[in-house]
Amino acid sequence: MNKCMLGTKIGMTQIFNEDGTAVPVTVIKAGPLSVVQKKTVEVDGYSAIKVGYEDMSEKRANKPDKGQFEKAGVSVKKHMKEFKLEDCEKFSVGQEIKVEEMFTAGDAIDISGISKGKGFQGTVKRYGTNRGRMTHGSHYHRGPGSMSACSDPSKVFKGKRLPGHMGFDKITVQNLSVVKVDGERGLLLVKGAVPGPRGGLLVIEETVKA
Domain range list for the chain = 4-118+169-206, 122-166
Reported pTM: 0.82
The helix or strand, by DSSP H or E, that contains position 6, with its residue range, turns out to be: strand 4-16
**What secondary structure letter does DSSP report for 94?**
T
Nearest to 98 by CA among 50, 53, 49, 40: 53
Nearest to 190 by CA among 202, 199, 200: 202
Q: Please check whether residue 114 is in contact with residue 9, taking contact to mean a CB–CB distance below 8 angstroms.
A: no
Nearest to 9 by CA among 89, 115, 123: 115
- Cα separation of the two ends of the chain: 12
pLDDT of residue 70: 85
Q: Is residue 136 scored above 80 in pLDDT?
A: yes
Q: Is residue 210 scored above 80 in pLDDT?
A: no
**Which tens digit of pLDDT belongs to each residue from 5-43?**
999 999 999 999 888 899 999 999 987 999 998 888 888
Mean pLDDT throughout 154-178?
A: 92
Fold classified for 4-118+169-206 = Elongation Factor Tu (Ef-tu); domain 3 (2.40.30)
Beta bridge partners of 191: 25
| β-strand pairing of 48-55 with 164-166 | unpaired
Q: Please check whether residue 28 is in contact with residue 122, taking contact to mean a CB–CB distance below 8 angstroms.
A: no
The helix or strand, by DSSP H or E, that contains position 108, with its residue range, turns out to be: strand 108-114
Cα-Cα-Cα-Cα dihedral sign, residues 210, 20, 105, 179 = negative
Percent of the chain with pLDDT over 90: 45
Q: How would you label 101-118 residue by residue, b for 16+ Cβ within 10 Å and e otherwise?
A: ebbeeebebbbbbbeeee
Question: Is omega for the bond preceding 32 within 30 degrees of 0, making it cis?
Answer: yes
pLDDT of residue 138: 93
Nearest to 4 by CA among 102, 88, 95: 102
Sequence-distant (≥ 6) Cβ neighbours of residue 73 within 8 angstroms = 93, 94
